[in-house]
Chains A and B, each alone.
Chain A
Amino acid sequence: MSENRTTPFAYIAEFGSAPELYHAAEHVRDAGFKRWDVHTPYPVHGIDKAMGLGKSWLSTCSLIGGVTGFLTALSLEFFTQVMLYPTVVQNKPTNLSTIPAFFPVMFELTILFTAFATLIGLCAFIMLPRWNHPLFNSALFNKFSDDGFILVIESRDPKFRKERTREFLEEIGAGEIELLEA
């Protein structure tokens, strides 16, 4: 189809500081790009808004985990202690009124299940673990884990144009720009 055998994967652009990246992100958002991201050494606060992203709903996973943990503990204790095998130790009864003695385990399992649900939810939301990614081929991109503020626009974006996107990135103040081949 074209003379170029390789297809580009993304434009990688470096910015000088977090505020510059922040303003660039606002421009990219307003230009209507969809498949893009900013890669930073630390979480830059407020950049969600500049990217047009809302609140993370990871907390729903945690809530589901917490409720599951609580119900697991409640049924574990109630079925085994009250229904299956009532253990009367030191003449203490086992029935509905002894539920306060079950609270510590309920509490601990609620926390435990919440933690696991949060971690599993996190992995699902950010689509990791992942062994490799085309972006890792770029030395410019890898500066993100040291001191680079990187903006990436992927070629999958419907608005991506080889020439126009580069000009656009230059306009919004990008320093070094790299076209990463896939």
Chain B
Amino acid sequence: MASDASTTDQPIHPSEAEGVAREPLVLNNRSMAWVTDRICGIVENRQPLIWWVLFIPSVLLAGLLGGTLVYLVSTGVGVWGNNQPVAWGWAIVNFVFWIGIGHAGTLISAILFLTRQKWRTSVNRASEAMTLFAVVCAGIYPGFHVGRFWMVWFLAPIPNANAIWQNFKSPLLWDVFAVSTYFTVSVLFWYVGLIPDLATLRDRAKAKLAKVLYGLFALGWRGGNRQWRHYEMAYLILAGISTPLVLSVHSVVSFDFATSIVPGWHTTIFPPYFVAGAVFGGFAMVLTLMLPVRKLYGLEDMITHKHVDNMAKIILLTGTIVGYAYIMELFISYYSASKYEGDAFHLRILSGPYTWAYYCMFFCNVISPQVFWFKKARLNLWVVFIVANIVNCGMWFERFVIIPTTLARDFLPGQWGYYSPSITEKLMFLGTFGLFMMLFLLFIRFLPVIAIAEVKGVLPENDPHHPDWVKLKEKRRAAAAAE
């Protein structure tokens, strides 16, 4: 290796040349041109039939969502099944479910960026997009749950019609600020990441309209280092502020529960437990979406088994944290010796009307990810896909367990009730899946699903310290000379 290095102008330190080679993040020594072609090709070529097969039902379901919302507003929120004592039914369950899914994107982009986990480059773009679409779906629920949708502007920090200001001590108002800030900052972060890739699409675009639109959104990006160095600083700062932001959002969501005095909700474990659960559910959704995309568009060289393996490990870790939280909640309710806490959890796990939901949740979230202790399971894409979907269900059940289970048994037996969702709520939930899928499919159609510029930065050929760098470079030179 030393003699090879001396023939080139780039010295390679012998220890690096002979050191332990990490598994490459992009397989088969792909070139930059290949990366550009493959990712831009998804946007430029005709979509496969399956895209249409998924897109049309998604649009119909999104239309169904619109229809149910029109029905809801024109009739009144009484068409939902929630009432006293369960005032927070599926609306809030689904809000927390979607907002939780919307955590993986920013986690992958921000936290993994700050911790220099370079494998994030292949999955961050799609996860960020997924985040945004999940937050869009989430935002619908509290918006309509307020009852009179046309009064939603009361949430904004302006005095309302009676000159009364918002109650800034209320966790529900904190939620408004947290979720809207999260959405806005996620959009900005996503867009800043897109700029260089939009420039690539602009430079390749054939159609006039495409060139104008991509050019408009690429802002005239020229990829000069005098731009890159500020760009990289901006990206670092956005990652730095998104990290506490993503942790704060689900903490604030959990404050909706934790700052109340309802037994079963009034616990200090809620913020970390919600954040771990959100990361857990978010990664499951990333896998649910990315495994088919990877297969369908031939992205196996960029989203490798290593990526799936890493995400499966994160699911295992966060799933186990969630399991710890479930058990710790039970222990604290026993240890506190509070009669009401004890009863709340007794009803939740033994004699209440929703114990089936508790065990569904426990199986899906704590037991099923344990298969990821085995490398064989992490490398089998079918196992990963199935477990990820079980986790998606489990995280929905978690929110269901927290909300109706607790509310259905109030302090006095005379206030006890049972909640089951109405058909409107069910259709609406189905509709948000349609909206989510529709937005994600449109994203695949019009924007690069993988961060092109970032992936180029982790290619083996662009790493001068890579053991094979000299060989690769000579191979490329020979190929160019042969042409």
Contact = CB atoms under 8 A, between A and B. Distances in A.
A170 to B, nearest CB: 16
A107 B248 contact: yes
B169 interface: yes
Contacts of A147: 31-33, 36, 456
B351 interface: no
Contacts, number: 195
A11 to B, nearest CB: 14
Q: Which secondary structure dominates chain A's binding surface?
A: helix
A122 B192 contact: yes
A78 B215 CA distance: 44
Given A43-B457, A104-B248, 8 more contacts: A42-B457, A47-B225, A81-B167, A111-B181, A115-B189, A145-B196, A146-B200, A147-B31
Interface string B173-210: 11001100100110011001000100110111000000
Interface of B: 9-10, 31-33, 36, 157, 159, 163-171, 173-174, 177-178, 181, 184-185, 188-189, 192, 196, 199-200, 202-204, 215, 219-234, 237-238, 241-242, 244-245, 248, 252, 255, 452-454, 456-457, 461-462, 464, 473, 477
Interface of A: 16-20, 23, 37-44, 47-48, 51, 53, 56, 58-59, 62, 66, 76-77, 80-81, 84-85, 87, 89, 92, 94, 98, 101-102, 104-105, 107-109, 111-112, 114-116, 118-119, 121-123, 125-126, 128-133, 135, 142, 144-147, 152
Contact of A122 (B202, B234, B464): B234
B163 A85 contact: yes
Contacts of B241: 62, 66, 111, 114-115, 118
Q: Which secondary structure dominates chain B's binding surface?
A: helix
Contacts of B177: 104-105, 108-109
Contact of B224 (A37, A66, A116, A123): A37
19 contacts: A16-B477, A23-B9, A37-B224, A42-B454, A43-B229, A44-B228, A56-B230, A59-B233, A101-B168, A102-B169, A105-B177, A112-B181, A112-B184, A112-B185, A115-B238, A122-B234, A126-B231, A144-B223, A147-B31
A40 B199 CA distance: 12
